[in-house]
Amino acid sequence: MSEVDFNFMNQVNTGANGPRSPKCSVDSFIRDGQKIQLGDTEVTVVETPGHTPGCISLIFPVKQDGKSYNVGQWGGTGAPQGLAEKKAYRNSIDYFEKYVKAAHATVEITAHLFAENGYAKLENAGDRTSGDINPFEIGEEGFANYLNDLRKSIDAAIAEQAQKNNS
């Protein structure tokens, strides 16, 4: 985990980090742009603050039916409450998009299966046979559309909150 989120998780005691939330220890902190080697797979860490102050997203390769794909995992499922955090979230979408484009990512997965119809997609992926399209494989254009939808959603939330703040 990032050091920023470690501090957030262990110092904030309200909301999702309230008393029922366990506090954690970390052996080492990850950082933006870091490459983590897991066997023959390299995972790239992308800091995408907003959902949490030290939120991360990931880019990594996968293989299916003998073909390689690059995955983008947006870690920021769920917009934050505060206006500054919403703006950070918006900037993080643009930042993550640079990594997605550079990797030619065509597979989008979520950090939380309850979002984006994740459970159904996972079930469909498990039921597929060789040659069937994986529901997580959306292509580069599909990934661009996914990020554009995130932008539209957070832009609307920013505009709504800014309007409330000015009222």
Per-residue pLDDT of 145-160, as tens digits, reads 999 999 999 999 999 9
Kindly report the pTM of this predicted structure: 0.89
| pLDDT at residue 3 in the model | 94
Which of 43, 68, 70 is closest to 57 using CA atoms? Answer: 43
Residues 13, 88, single domain; the answer is: no
| pLDDT at residue 78 in the model | 83
Query: Phi, psi at residue 107, to the nearest 5°?
Result: -120, 125
Domain that includes residue 19, residue range: 1-30
Question: Whole-angstrom Cα distance, residue 143 to residue 71?
Answer: 10
Question: Whole-angstrom Cα distance, residue 74 to residue 119?
Answer: 16
CATH number of 42's domain:
3.60.15.10
Residues 56, 129, single domain; the answer is: yes
Question: Whole-angstrom Cα distance, residue 50 to residue 73?
Answer: 15
| pLDDT at residue 132 in the model | 83
Residues 37, 24, single domain; the answer is: no
Please count the CA atoms within 13 angstroms of the CA of 149 that sit on its side-chain side.
Answer: 10
Residues 24, 51, single domain; the answer is: no
| pLDDT at residue 124 in the model | 82
Residues 26, 41, single domain; the answer is: no
Residues 54, 68, single domain; the answer is: yes
| pLDDT at residue 93 in the model | 97
Residues of the chain with pLDDT under 70: none
Q: Count up the domains in the chain and report the number.
A: 2
| pLDDT at residue 115 in the model | 74
Residues 91, 133, single domain; the answer is: yes
Residues 43, 112, single domain; the answer is: yes
Which of 4, 1, 3, 18 is closest to 88 using CA atoms? Answer: 4
| pLDDT at residue 133 in the model | 84
